[in-house]
Amino acid sequence: MPLKLHTETSGRGSDLFLVHGWALHSGIWGSVLPELAQAYRITCVDLPGHGLSRDLPMPVTLPALARQLVAAAPENAVWLGWSLGGLACLRAALDFPGRLRALVLVSATPRFLTTVDWPHAMSMEQWREFVAELGRDYHKTLQRFLGLQVREDAAARNVLRRLRAAVCARGEPRFGDLAKGLQLLRDSDLRAELAQILLPTLVMTGEHDQLTPPQAGVALAAAVNGAQRVVVPKTAHAPFLSCPAEFSAVLKQFLQNLPAATQAGHHRRMPHSAGISRE
């Protein structure tokens, strides 16, 4: 029996499952966890190769990662994924729709690299340079990555300080697992499958995000039928760190408007007008 991913649970209420991004761990949710745990039971997971799941290797395919997350998640939870975590949540929603109640995608995209018909992403050349730098100077590249997350954020200094404090707080993520995570970002393209998602969905993006530009959020929300989109002003890649109060308010309003589940795996669709949208 393979080991399960490390999870931590707090609060009471309906279930909310939080999935962090590349190179970090579930401790990154600390700025919003106390507020959310007042109304929801929060389960935070450490991705394989990260945090307290460091002894589990990062899988080489996105479906395999989604399976690991499903094994760690509560039944009928709302899944919230940030960045790489959002990509994994999308895959889980496609492969295991009956296990999710709803989907919240924060600074997420169905494709992280540019192609002829997908300009709002990192170029392949930038990605190759980033991978090469990771091999040459692991720590310097991690710091550069954290800097990219806060570029043009109104709270950049504070957010960068928190990211730097968090990145190795549960031990350094393993180089090999970080490299596998980058391969997942390179190889995954879920755009053609997004119309299959029939879950209530919220797409939340930062106004100045350099890693997953707002235009990617526009396309993502348009492709998922009935999805809502919220842009958090003056923030970049980590709006839950930049504006935790506003982030929590947007999330709680979406959650409060969710329809009740009917049977396991079958949900009524949320009316398109529910929730809030800030364009």
**Which of 25, 208, 237, 267 is flagged as catalytic?**
237
240: which 2 tokens? 């839950």
CA atoms within 13 A on the CB side of 112: 24
Name the pairing type of β-strands 261-263 and 266-267.
antiparallel
Of 84, 103, 121, nearest to 213 by C-alpha is 121
The edge-to-edge listing of strands for the beta sheet with 14-19 is: 7-10, 40-45, 14-19, 77-82, 100-106, 201-206, 228-232
* DSSP secondary structure letter of residue 34: H
> Which one of the listed residues 26, 53, 83, 107 is annotated catalytic?
83
**Active-site option among 26, 209, 242, 267:** 209
The answer to whether 177 is a known catalytic residue is no
Helix (H, G, I), strand (E, B) or coil at 8: strand
Residue 26 known to be catalytic: no
How many C-beta neighbours within 10 Å does residue 215 have?
A: 15
Instruction: Say whether 10 is catalytic.
Output: no
DSSP string for 198-253? -S-EEEEEETT-SSS-HHHHHHHHHHSTT-EEEEETT--S-HHHHSHHHHHHHHHH
- Catalytic center residues: 83, 209, 237
